[in-house]
Amino acid sequence: MDNLHHAPDTLLPTPLEPGLLQGLPPGLPAELSQESLLAALGGQALAQRRATGVDAERTLFDELYLLSPVGAFLLEPDTTIAQVNITGADLLGIDRARPGSERFRSYVAPRFLHDFDAFVARALASDQPQRCQLQLQRTRGERGAPVTLIGCAADSALRLTVEPAEGRLHVLEHSEERFRRIVQTAREGIWELDRAACTAFVNPRMAEMLGYAVEEMRGKPLVGFMDAEGRSLLERNIARQQQGVPGRHEFKFMRKDGGELWVHVAANPLYDAHGGYLGALALVSDITEHRESAELAWQQANFDALTGLPNRNMFQERLRHEMKKVRRERSFLALLFIDLDQFKQINDRFGHQQGDALLVQAAARLGACMRATDTLARIGGDEFVAILPGLGHVQDAERVAQDIIAVLNRPFELAGAQQGHVSGSVGIALYPSDAADADELLRHADQAMYAAKNGGRNRYTYFTEDMQSAAQQRVRLADDLRRATAGNEFELYYQPIVNLKSGVVERAEALLRWHHPERGTLNPADFIAGAESAGVLIEIGARAMRQAADQVLAWQRTLGRPFQISINMSAAQLRDDAHGWLRYVEALKLPPKSLVVDLPEDLLNESAGQMLEPVRRLHALGMQVALDDFGTGHSALAQLKEFAIDYLKIDRSFVAGLTSSAHNSGDLVLCEAIILLAHKLGLEVVAEGVETPAQLALLKDAGCDYAQGYVFARPAPAADVLALARRGTLGAIGAE
């Protein structure tokens, strides 16, 4: 080993000569540098030298001369041992693989602790080597061994060299036998590769790991001990290093008997006195048993041995994860509980082995029905469950259930040219509407599955009969809505909004109506939820906004005065301008304050970063914003200013409680408080659902700015509302 030296600081990556590539995996580029190969094997010192440019003496520990005749340590500021070479570990009698549990200070003889602490303080504060002579002892009470410590700061750590008191020269002169003993008895494999990546030397432990005699390994190329997987790992690691991505230092070798050997490798370059590359020295640790036991334990704990699908344990973990995601994103998921009908007869007729074969085929068919984001698991004998997150509509879950029933109805090929026939019963439960937690959701899906069995099998059923009926209605409604959207069956009605001080009809609320060919004229409450599930709500809303914008412009021209239309909009509509209604409104160049967008109060609880920008976009186009049904949600007062709300609309449930004898009622107090709060914040108030002159009078006395409701007029087509607006004031005000 006396021909090994540190490389000059100016050393650049040296390409491996074409004739020296015999030890490398086939297909690697000839210009591959020695540095890349060493980094892939776990050596990082050369790359660190290029990055920092520090001299060879200061990078002694980074290069970590594994067989250096002196102890080399890297210590944390509290002297915890972060790294140690073989000589250092032998000196203190510690395990080199787990140094982090030891503190160097605990091995200093007590009477030298004061000197040691002072030395550490000096060394950490200096980039020049500091020296200290003291005694080390492996255990308290034994006679200390005199040593010389040489240390200096290395970033936030302490780089430390420990030399016996007689000095380095003496150690070098007497180290040959000691090194031979260390190498021959080391618990880790030591593997020296020459510049062609072939074996130059191995210690007995390395040969034992691979099942060879030492003599058999000499001269064999590195990749001669690898199969295709092992070479692929090495190639990928080299590629990751070249891309600047930290590589893994775990590699696979093949033992002489054909068994697998998984190892952790730390490699370091070897140079001659002139900086010429000689090869690499690697320290190899056997991790096969640990890797296999950990992988087997994890596999057994989380996957079904027969089908390879996630088992109940992993299913529950993934279900909880997906439910958290649903709560965060305010979406929903479906849980499908799948049971194979007549499976017991398959076992009874053909035997359990054939039954298992059918289960494997069934699992493959079910998996083909899933998306990449879905989770299919086997949680019992013939019971499977599927988690379907991120669904756009309830119908998506129904389509998966239909596919499952279809694939299970096909015959299953069994041994002996026989066929097995089963069907599937599927229960569907939705989160969060059907359950509060994972256990309840699974239980409800299970109940729905049994309902499907009791209903005749080979079908799917929702958790409740009401939901089953609603699902059928949703399917019909979705079809009708798609037809209505294409057939222009929707119309905007308008309800006048009156200024309570002047009695003038200054504005109107646009309210959507659907002229259903069979069910007559429908209010939004009858179809909005269905439109959202069917995926047509945003398109319907965009058309309504364009129609309202056209209408307000026409009324302003006809009346010759300002007029305003308010229209309801959901958070989803506000975020999505895929149908271009914003651009349409902008192109009309409406006078400011022509349109008011009524937003739900709970919108203020959404992430400010997501909703502030869309609201600001409305203001930038001259539109105003009203908070609809105020008092029924959970908005904070600070959010009213943050979102620049212009109007508060008192919910009709508060107005309904106002009567001529309700001067001290709770509803009146709430209305008065909302009006006072709004005025203090510079906002105006609109009362919805005003039906009687008594309610109107109380609201006027409380200082409410605007009102709408049956006391003035019901929602009506545009022509009727225009006629009311032309009258100026409405008679209901004078009828109090």
DSSP notation for 261-322: EEEEEEEEEEE-TTS-EEEEEEEEEE-HHHHHHHHHHHHHHHB-TTT-SB-HHHHHHHHHHH
Coil vs helix vs strand at 221: strand
* Chain length of the chain: 736
Dig out the tokens for 501 from the structure: 């001080």
**Strand 71-75 with 157-164, pairing:** antiparallel
Spatial CA neighbour of 652 closest among 509, 493, 490, 499: 509
Spatial CA neighbour of 492 closest among 563, 534, 541: 541
> Is the preceding peptide bond at 432 cis, omega within 30 degrees of 0?
yes
| CA gap 371, 388 in Å, rounded | 8
Helix (H) or strand (E) holding 190: strand 189-194
Spatial CA neighbour of 685 closest among 727, 722, 729, 631: 631
Number of Cβ within 10 Å of residue 731's Cβ equals 9
Paired strand residues for 431? 333
Q: Please provide residue 146's backbone torsions phi and psi, each rounded to the nearest 5 degrees.
A: -70, 135
**How far out from the chain centre does Cα 351 lie?**
44
| CA gap 80, 74 in Å, rounded | 9
pLDDT confidence of residue 15: 38
**Strand 595-600 with 624-630, pairing:** parallel
DSSP states along 146-160: EEEEEEEEETTEEEE
Collect all residues with Cβ–Cβ distance below 8 Å to 474 and sequence separation of at least 6: 394, 395, 530, 533, 534
Spatial CA neighbour of 535 closest among 613, 463, 470, 474: 474
Note the maximum CA span of the chain.
118
| CA gap 235, 224 in Å, rounded | 14
pLDDT confidence of residue 638: 65
Collect all residues with Cβ–Cβ distance below 8 Å to 297 and sequence separation of at least 6: none
Query: With contact defined as beta carbons under 8 Å apart, do 407 and 366 qualify?
Result: yes
Dig out the tokens for 82 from the structure: 């972060």
pLDDT confidence of residue 51: 40
Dig out the tokens for 46 from the structure: 């050369």
Q: Domains of the chain (ranges plus CATH)?
A: 34-55+186-289 (3.30.450.20), 70-174 (3.30.450.20), 303-463 (3.30.70.270), 494-510+533-730 (3.20.20.450)
pLDDT confidence of residue 722: 93
Cross-sheet strand order for the sheet of 260-271: 199-202, 189-194, 277-286, 260-271, 250-254
Collect all residues with Cβ–Cβ distance below 8 Å to 80 and sequence separation of at least 6: 100, 102, 103, 104
Spatial CA neighbour of 531 closest among 655, 666, 394: 394
| CA gap 20, 159 in Å, rounded | 36
Paired strand residues for 339? 383, 425
CA distances (Å), origin 98, targets 45, 101, 102, 138, 265: 21, 7, 8, 17, 15
Cross-sheet strand order for the sheet of 157-164: 81-84, 71-75, 157-164, 145-154, 130-136
- Burial of 193 (C-beta count, 10 Å sphere; 0-12/13-18/19+): buried
Q: Show the low-confidence residues of the chain (pLDDT under 50).
A: 1-36, 44-64, 246-247, 607, 733-736
pLDDT confidence of residue 21: 40
| Local structure of residue 16 (DSSP, 8 states) | P
Paired strand residues for 4? none
Spatial CA neighbour of 85 closest among 77, 75, 96, 76: 96
